[in-house]
Amino acid sequence: MGEPIVIALDGTSASGKSTNAKLVAKALGYTYVDTGAMYRSLAWYCLKKGVVLDNEKAIASLCRRWKTELRNENGHVRLYVDGYYPEKEIRTAETSAAVPSVAAVPGVRKWMKARQRDCTRFGNLVMEGRDIGSNVFPDTEYKFYLDASLDERAKRRAADGVDENLAERDKRDSQRAAAPLMIPLGARVINNSDMTSKETSTLIINEVLERLEAAG
């Protein structure tokens, strides 16, 4: 058997990464990895432990010491913390607000990269995030970058009941020193402002299948 295939889905907030990654993974029978949930788990844990969010050393130190385990549950990789998966806790407004500060810490991104690369032990992957094709798996042949207009992304967030300054989030993600958000070299850019999730995922699935067939 060869190396596991990794389909990298990067993109801006509310560009449909999660929805489309799940659809692609299901259609191809690959394992789905939400790297954002990993960062959310650390943000939640920092809040739980009372770590000050502007203290990068304290955040990096906690990240080195927390006890975690990657588990593949029904084709979905989850990061357990002390034997517990904080499924609801990582989606709260408080945790969401803490994520950008935690994700910007170089030591955190180094730790996360190692764990995310380790996910290949679960087989072929569809991994979504903000630096998968540019930093975590830069050599993968299957890179996609999703985006949509700011207005459309704001509508999507509002429909989910989330109030987020997307322009500010984009700025922070793209300007951070460690693994900033960028269009990975060789990635297929898909602006899905006027596309449904089915149309977007079908476009990705068809391109992956064509490339796999061409590669034999």
Domain ranges of the chain: 1-30+123-216, 35-121
What pLDDT does residue 108 have? 97
Provide the strand spans (E) within 12-67.
31-34
pTM over 0.85: yes
CATH hierarchy code of domain 1-30+123-216:
3.40.50.300
Q: How far apart are CA 85 and CA 92, in angstroms?
A: 14
Single-letter code of the amino acid located at 51? V
What pLDDT does residue 7 have? 98
Same fold, 1-30+123-216 and 35-121: yes
Could you please state the CATH topology (level 3) that the domain comprising 35-121 is classified under.
Rossmann fold (3.40.50)
What pLDDT does residue 19 have? 94
What pLDDT does residue 1 have? 54
CA distances from 174 to 11, 87, 96, 179, 180 (A): 11, 27, 18, 9, 5
Q: How far apart are CA 157 and CA 68, in angstroms?
A: 30
Q: Of all residues in the chain, what percent carry a pLDDT higher than 70?
A: 99
